[in-house]
Structure 1
Amino acid sequence: MSSPLPTECPATHDVPTLVLSLILCTGLIISYLPQHLRIVNAKSSEGFSPWFLLLGATSSASGMLNLLIVQWPLFQCCRILSAGRCFESLLGFYQVTLQWLLFTIILVLYLAYFPKHLKYQRVMPLSSDIDQTYGSTAENTEEPLVSRSRVTVSTTPEWRLAITLGIVVFVHLSLLFLLSISLLLTLPTTVPPHPFLRYLATFLGISGTVLAVLQYAPQIHRTYYTKLVGALSLGTMVIQVPGSVLFVLSLVFRPGTNWTSWLAYAVTGGMQGALLVICVLWKRRQKRLGIDDFGHPLNSPPSLANEEHRPLVNGD
């Protein structure tokens, strides 16, 4: 591939945009850190909706790949720009990639710290099955039939759903990343991009927006009806809700971006604000009822509070 002409590459040094992007990248890390630490310290990811994590991970991945395509000429310009100017021109892509990475870490922690009392369940045959199996010998033994039945421990539908959705996230990212890279390396780099690349970028932007609109719906529904904050971090949301405004503005004024690149983040910020309001209301309700974020009485001994959530089997 031939190197781009100097006139095709950014020649200005936008200090305000550079400072804003660096602040946003730092703020992203600071905002997600309370959520990561909350799950690790509580050793539980209870309260999260797996559909929320699926939609969030796929939405942020679509946004990252969208920006990769629309800013691909800037990647080509790094062949003739200095390292510092290259880094500055790609800060918008770094922001979106960091957003995807930090959210995906929540998904990984969700699976790693999935509550054991929600992961396993005891499976017992129906009474009709017991009668058919032991009916002929029931009169000759004093052992209860229930103890003779085949009681097994299996995974719950919720845990199997979580694993399935995790696989879907991985497949989604892998396929779209391979498709995007293949087209970018095969088709010529032009401004505006090749029609195929424009169609793919638009698809990624629109699908990312749709997924972002749907992302918070299952989490809002779950949090609203459980009336518990769970493992959600209010600190993360308090930082991210106003930060999303700056995040969107930084993308709007970035060269090489369009509405498909920032609309998903604008929608996500608005719905996250709604979730924050619900969590604040439930936090006050929990304080009034004397329970913690997981519904345990605050004044009861730890052994009694954890009795309901004791795992059915030992080990990982």
Structure 2
Amino acid sequence: MSDICHLDSDWFVNALATFLIIALVLSYAPQHVRIIQMGSSEGFSPWFLLLGSTSSTAGMLNMITLSWPTIQCCSDVSVGRCLELTAGVIQVTLQWFLFVAILVLYMIYYPARLKYVDIDIPAHGTLPPQHVKTKLLSDDWRLSVNVSWAVAIHLVVNAFITFFLLFTRIPGPGGEVPPQISMWATVLGVSSALLAGIQYAPQLSRTYRTKLVGALSIPMMIIQSPGAAIMSISIALRPGINWTSWAMYAVSGIMQAALLAMCIAWKLRQRRLKIDDFGYPLDSSSSTPLTDDVDTVVGEVSDIQVGDVPYDSEAEDVREDVPLLPKPGRSGRNSRFFGWLRL
């Protein structure tokens, strides 16, 4: 441990780590602010948030496991030296916190009108159908609540196993890492990379289907896509780290670049059609979706998500300017912070 604790300072690695810590906060801030300002989190895929949160959790615990001898140096060195030695752990922990914050904001600002199923009851004659609100939970909201619990349980279980192994570890005669801890770190790293590899698939599918940017933040992705490569290099340069710690960030950067390209394409399409990120005309103050030319199925929870309008790319008679996402409301600002914990 003494060799690790008294390694010579590397100004390049330290400068890179400091830059990445600041860049992480600045890159996630646009997404957090966008959700809060719009009062809506519509446009996110719950599966994307589930995979991203569990992937970042596994990556954080992998980094803590492999850096544990370095973390223990903090009891023998100054605060400044401690921060220098644990900069890699601080990076991945901050990245985990900032991503999970998106999930928390997603639940808090989930549009209240989309939490329950609305049913259109046919009327007699030429009268329009009656729009009836029910107490039946929509599939998308139920899935979102289950995702939140899954993320919390995954964090608790994996953190318990990690710290149990770390606090009960018995180093080998030469100070080498015990095999069970090395194996657990590999499990965490590989699972983190695999989850990151499929993390963006649900979001790419959802964004492609709606052909709208929604609540996604393009500035965040512009910063993070190249930043993922820099973060991978920064983590790889830390002492005692192997490929399982940085693979997740390299994979995430590639997938996020694909999502960024798609969002830019839809942004240009929205500008051409003169609609906003939720599909509403920019020159109209109406809060009612334009669904005259679209057959909307309401109330069939298992077949379609409430609030989504089915889109058929092969149907030439469907207007391109029909909004596919509900216009964000401001009612989410008044949501109770822990109200989403209840089904």
The two structures have a TM-score, normalised by structure 1, of: 0.86
CA RMSD of aligned residues (A): 2.6
Structure 1 residue aligned with 2:341: none
Describe the shift of the 1:214–1:123 C-alpha distance in structure 2 as closer, same or farther (beyond 3 A).
same
Determine which of 213, 216, 231 is the counterpart of 1:229. 213
Aligned residues between the structures: 292
SS across alignment from 1:153: strand
Deviations 1:117-155 (A, max 9, x none): 3211136899xxxxxxxxxxxxxxxxxxx99xx973322
Name which of 147, 156, 159 aligns with 1:165. Answer: 147
Structure 1 SS opposite 2:9: coil
Matched, 1:68 2:64: yes
Please tell me whether the aligned partners of residues 228 and 249 of structure 2 are also in contact (alpha carbons under 8 angstroms).
yes
Report SS of the residue matched to 2:75.
coil
Task: Work out the CA distance in 1 between the residues paired with 2:275 and 2:120.
Answer: 33
Match of 1:245 among 204, 213, 229: 229
Instruction: Please tell me the residue identity of whatever aligns with 2:266.
Output: W
The range that moved more, 54-63 or 75-84, is: 75-84
Matches of 2:283 and 2:133, distance apart in 1: 35
Amino acid at match of 1:177: A
**Deviation, structure 1 residue 189:** 4.1
Separation of aligned partners in 2, 1:275 and 1:107:
18
In the TM superposition, residue 305 of structure 1 has moved relative to its aligned partner by: 5.8
Q: Secondary structure at the match of 1:256?
A: coil
Could you say if the C-alpha distance between residues 177 and 155 of structure 1 is closer, same or farther in structure 2, counting changes exceeding 3 Å?
A: same
What amino acid does structure 2 have at the position aligned with 1:161?
A: L
Residues 280, 327 of structure 2: 8 Å contact kept: no
Residue 118 (structure 1) aligns with: 114
Counterpart in 2 of 1:29? Answer: 25
Question: Structure 1 residues 310 and 193 mapped into 2: Cα distance closer, same or farther (>3 Å)?
Answer: closer
The structure in which a higher percent of residues are helix is 1
1:29-70 CA-to-partner distances (Å, cap 9, x unmatched) read 000000000000010001100000000000000000001100
Deviations 1:87-119 (A, max 9, x none): 101000000000000000000000001122321
Hey, what's the Cα distance between the residues in 2 that align with 1:200 and 1:41? 41
The answer to whether the 8 Å contact 1:125/1:151 transfers is no
Unaligned runs of 5+ in 2: 123-128, 292-325, 336-343
Residue from 94, 103, 107 that aligns with 2:99: 103
User: Matches of 1:309 and 1:15 in 2, distance apart?
Assistant: 49
Does the CA-based 8 Å contact 2:47-2:202 persist in structure 1? yes
Which structure 1 segments of 5+ residues have no match? Answer: 127-145
> Aligned partners of 1:50 and 1:303: how far apart in 2?
25
Q: For the residues of structure 2 that align with 1:179 and 1:52, how far apart are their CA atoms?
A: 25
Q: Does structure 2 conserve the Cα–Cα contact (< 8 Å) formed by 1:117 and 1:309? A: no
Aligned residue identity for 2:272: R
Match of 1:176 in 2: 158
- Helix, strand or coil for the counterpart of 2:225? helix
Query: How far has the Cα of 1:8 moved from its partner?
Result: 4.5
Are the equivalent residues in 2 in contact too, given 1:58–1:173 (CA < 8 A)? yes
1:55, 1:87 → 2: CA distance? Answer: 29
Decide whether aligned partners of structure 1 residues 117 and 86 sit closer, same or farther in structure 2, where only a CA change above 3 A counts.
same
**Structure 1 partner of 2:54:** 58
Question: Which of 196, 201, 222 is equivalent to 1:217?
Answer: 201
User: C-alpha separation between the residues in 2 aligned to 1:230 and 1:10?
Assistant: 49
Decide which of 247, 259, 262 is 2:243's aligned counterpart.
Answer: 259
Distance in 1 between residues matched to 2:193 and 2:42, nearest whole Å = 27
Evaluate the alpha carbon distance shift between residue 114 and residue 151 of structure 1 in structure 2; reply closer, same or farther with a 3 A threshold: closer
1:298 aligns with 2:282: yes
Partner-residue secondary structure (3-state), 1:78: helix
Aligned amino acid, residue 145 of structure 2 = I
Aligned-residue offset at 1:306: 9.8
Residue number in structure 1 paired with 2:323: none
Q: Tell me the distance in 2 between the aligned counterparts of 1:227 and 1:123.
A: 26
Aligned to 2:309: none
Hey, what does 2:169 align to over in structure 1?
Answer: 187
Q: TM-score, normalised by structure 2?
A: 0.79
* Secondary structure in structure 1 of the residue aligned to 2:31: helix
In 1: Cα distance, 2:251 partner to 2:243 partner? 12
State whether residues 123 and 153 of structure 1, in contact with CA within 8 Å, keep that contact through their aligned partners in structure 2.
no
Which residue identity is paired with 2:141?
Answer: W
1:78 aligned onto 2:74:
yes
